[in-house]
Amino acid sequence: MPDLGPYATAVLGAYGVTIAAIAGLVAWLVLRARRVRRELAGLERGRRRSDG
C-alpha cells in the first residue's frame, strides 16, 4: 500500500464509504429483483387462470 501521508484517513474513509454504498446498491437491486420476479410470477399465474 502506498504511503498516503496525512491524507490516509480521508482517502481510506472515502474508499470505505464508496465500498459501502456500492454494496448497499447491489443488495437493494438483488432484493428488488426478487420482489419483481415474485410479482411477475403472480401476474402470470393469474393470467393463466383467466385464460383457461
In tens, the pLDDT along 1-47 reads: 789 899 999 999 999 999 999 999 999 999 999 999 999 999 988 87
- Is residue 42 a contact partner of residue 36, using CB atoms and an 8 Å limit? no
- Greater model confidence, 24 or 50: 24
Residue 50 one-letter amino acid? S
Q: Is the pLDDT confidence value at 49 over 70?
A: no
Residue 51 and residue 37: Cα distance in Å, rounded? 21
Residues contacting residue 12 through CB under 8 Å, at least 6 positions apart: 4
Residue 9 one-letter amino acid? T
Residue 11 one-letter amino acid? V
pTM: 0.71
C-alpha grid cell for residue 22? Answer: 456500492
